[in-house]
Amino acid sequence: MENPAEEKNKIDNEEDNKEVVFRIYEKFTLKIQHARLTDGYELAISYNGTSQVSARSILDIEDIDTTLYTRVIFNGRLYRWKNLPDNVKSNLDQTYPVLSIPLKKQLKIPFDKPNFNNKYLKYHEKLQSFYNTHILSEEFSNLLPTSPDGFIKPAEDQIILLPRSSNQLVFGNNKVGIDPARDFKRWGPHKSIPTPANVRFFFIYHTPDRGTRMLTIFNYFKKGFSGEFSFPDMQKFLKFPFELDEKENHIAFNNINEAVDVVKNKLKETKRSENHKYFAIFLNPVGTDETDEKLVNIYYKIKEILLYEGIPSQVIKADKVIKNNKINDYYNTFLPKIEIAILAKLGGIPWRINRNETNQLIVGIGASYDATRKTRFVGSAFCFDNTGVFKGFDCFRAADIISIAGSIREAVDNFMKTNENVSRLIIHFYKEISKKELKPIEDLLENLGLDIPVYVLSINKTLSKDYLAFDLDSAQLMPYSGTIVKIDLNDYLLFNNTRYNQSASPKGKHHFFPLRIRLSGSNTSNLDDSKLITELFDHVFQFSRMYWKSTDPQNIPVTISYPEMVAKIYPNFSKEHLPEYGKNNLWFL
């Protein structure tokens, strides 16, 4: 339901008699359910943010592409534009469109700035206010009486806390820390790049950028960043030596539309030493805000060419380095992310989970919808051992369950070549897995002759708003990181944030909402065992800390986020299959 709790204009002040551009409606959802958290009926209330609705009716808006309309409001009710009843069609002068992103662009309505304030405080206030105002009202109570106890307090046996050591990571010289931004800089990578360690960088760049952006980036790599917040040179930061390739081996293009052909031809004619590892830095002149799909796709084409040549690459947006002839004074914030990704692409291990290695194979399956092609691709099987070390992956269509099962079989085969006994297979799935989808996976394991348990954790990467829990003993209301709350049979919330202790004070976007995770497996008799639940959820918690594209905290495990990253790039490639090199390299970071 939508509640017009606020009807205010965020652009002009209505009180000053200025034009109201849109009104804001708060959205709440009510759902009646039975015996999920209690023994009786329950009313689930969720706050779903806000919708902006145009203050002008459909007939008052001129020169608009009506295909941009998705939902409209008439007489306090919400309708789909494509399915309007006749009484609404007859009153379009009283019908108001809900403002989607494309519609706001068309109407030239500015977008809201992101709000990084504590969402727990906001949502708790909204839910409590809605409950006090509407649920406790005499009118609603006569219709549906509710318990005087108010919101449900989970029982002790519904809550599990992961070990405090779950957030620990191992860096260089086996030093243990919890903060990659600080601890990597102090101790360096857990493992440097494999030998030979002779790394040569070459640039791919727009000719006018040579003496400006290209030189700036190389100086950052070679000399570090000087300023208010200094950053070391890359050789000291990543703990391996590197050099710039010969001048004639860099690739310059005079016209962005010729870039792909220039790169392709230059790579064919360039001879490279077998004693060196080569790494390409593509200084992409296509702007961050570019909407021309042809220009945007140049990135994918060059990425693909390099991948099939077996050359890892890092793309750097030219306008992030220098824009309007002004050097970015805060580029030091980008350097650790760029350089750690470079290390990982060269085969190094920036950090790993602080756990003893066991013969468990963890497979992540994720998907991404390609709106242009209207297809869904999956990145699978993304394989890791229990310490979070990457073991390889492949890509194919999400609807192809047989291919998914086949990729898991290949992963198990490869894993067994270096591990005598696989003790357990754990699958992190991007959505709830059905019995039909689990059956081919069970069949392949049976055909392999492996008598091992298989556990599937369906991880919804859209953070839970339907179910939330609040720590009323904390001023911030956010439960401790590593808190697991059972909300139904084999259905849980995992709070994965940076509140590790009472004094921790996460800021901004790090007030993460919980992940909702459903658990299934080949052996259902022990799915409610607290020890097993702790072990399986510990992997999810820890794998969110294995994200090597940033030093910022994450709450989605790489078993889900890495496949999604690949699935967004892979459909833009021209070739049907990844090369073998591409299946064993983190080129997509």
Contact 570, 377 (CB under 8 A): yes
More confident residue, 1 or 250: 250
* Two structure tokens written together for 459: 């991880």
Q: Quick one: fold of 357-463+527-581?
A: Nucleotidyltransferase; domain 5 (3.30.420)
Distance CA 378, CA 390 (A): 17
All CATH 3.40.50.2300 domain ranges of the chain, comma separated, are 192-345
All CATH 3.30.420.10 domain ranges of the chain, comma separated, are 357-463+527-581
Q: How sure is the predictor about 175, in pLDDT bands with cuts at 50, 70 and 90?
A: very high
Q: What digits encode the pLDDT tens for the residues 323-361? A: 888 888 888 889 999 999 999 999 999 999 998 888 888
Q: DSSP label at 396? A: E
What type of residue sits at position 86?
D
Q: DSSP label at 358? A: -
What's residue 376's pLDDT?
A: 59
Domain 192-345 has CATH 3.40.50.2300: yes
Q: How sure is the predictor about 136, in pLDDT bands with cuts at 50, 70 and 90?
A: very high
E-assigned strand segments in 195-321: 199-206, 242-244, 251-253, 277-284, 313-317
Distance CA 171, CA 545 (A): 13
**DSSP per-residue letters across 397-455:** ETT-HHHHHHHHHHHHHHHHHH-S---EEEEEESSPPPHHHHHHHHHHHHHHT----EE
Q: Phi and psi for 475 in degrees, rounded to 5?
A: -65, -25
What's residue 415's pLDDT?
A: 66
Contact 9, 53 (CB under 8 A): no
**DSSP per-residue letters across 123-142:** HHHHHHHHIIIIITSHHHHH
The least confident of 130-144, 320-334, 385-399, 514-528 is: 385-399
Q: What digits encode the pLDDT tens for the residues 409-436? A: 776 677 667 666 778 888 888 776 667 7
What's residue 344's pLDDT?
A: 94
Contact 391, 587 (CB under 8 A): no
E-assigned strand segments in 55-198: 71-74, 77-80, 95-97, 159-161, 169-170, 176-177
For Cα atoms 584, 587, 589, give the angle at the middle one, nearest 5 degrees: 125
* Two structure tokens written together for 230: 């200094």
Identify the CA nearest to 482 among candidates 246, 164, 257. Answer: 164
- What is the dihedral sign for C-alpha 482, 485, 490, 494? negative
What's residue 333's pLDDT?
A: 87
Distance CA 442, CA 340 (A): 37
What's residue 275's pLDDT?
A: 83
Contact 410, 381 (CB under 8 A): yes
Supply the pTM of this predicted model.
Answer: 0.86
